[in-house]
Structure 1
Amino acid sequence: MNKQIEKLRFFLERRGFYVSSRLADRLGIRAKWVRLFFIYSSFATFGIGFVAYLILAFWLRLKDLVSTKRSSVFDL
C-alpha cells in the first residue's frame, strides 16, 4: 500500500505544475509543508484552497510562457 502511495505521489509531483516546490523555494521552506497547507486549507474551507492552487498553477504557467525569451525570429 505504501509503495502505491509513493508511486502516486511521484506521478503527481512529476506531472504537476510544480506550484508547491516553486512556492516553497520562494518562501524558503520545504515543499511538503506547502502541500500540507493546501490539503488542510482545502478541507477547512471546502475547496477554496484547491481553487487557489489551480489559480497559482495557471498564473505560474502564464508567467513562464510570457517570460520565455526567443533568440531569433525562427524560434517561433
Structure 2
Amino acid sequence: MKSLVNQIQFLWENYAFGVCHRLGEKLGVATWSIRLFFIYASFITYGSPIFVYLALAFIMNLRRYQRKRAHIWDF
C-alpha cells in the first residue's frame, strides 16, 4: 500500500508541471506548504487559484523552451 502511494506521488510530482516545487525553491518555503495553500485557497475561492497555477505553469514552460532555443550566432 505504501509503495502504491509513493508511486502515485512520484508520478504526480513529475508530471504536474512542478510549479509548487519551483516556487518553493525560489521563495525558500517547503513545497508541501505551497501545495496546501493552493488546495485551501481553491476551496475558499471556488477554484480561482487554479488559473494562477496554470498561468505559472505556462510561463515556466515558455521559459524552458526559450533556454533550449539555439541562437543564430552559436554555429
> TM-score if structure 2 supplies the norm length?
0.80
Partner of 1:29, secondary structure, is coil
Q: Which residue of 2 aligns with 1:62?
A: 62
Find out whether 1:27 has 2:12 as its counterpart.
no
Q: Which residue of 2 aligns with 1:9?
A: 9
Deviation of residue 7 (structure 1)? 2.7
CA distance in 1, matches of 2:39, 2:5: 16
Deviation of residue 39 (structure 1)? 0.6
CA distance in 2, matches of 1:47, 1:3: 31
> TM-score if structure 1 supplies the norm length?
0.79
Change (3 A) 1:5 1:51: farther
Structure 1 unaligned spans of 5+: none
- 1:33-48 equivalent positions in 2, closer than 5 A: 33-48=33-48
Aligned-residue Cα RMSD (Å) equals 1.9
CA distance in 1, matches of 2:19, 2:62: 13
CA distance in 1, matches of 2:33, 2:70: 36
Deviation of residue 3 (structure 1)? 4.8
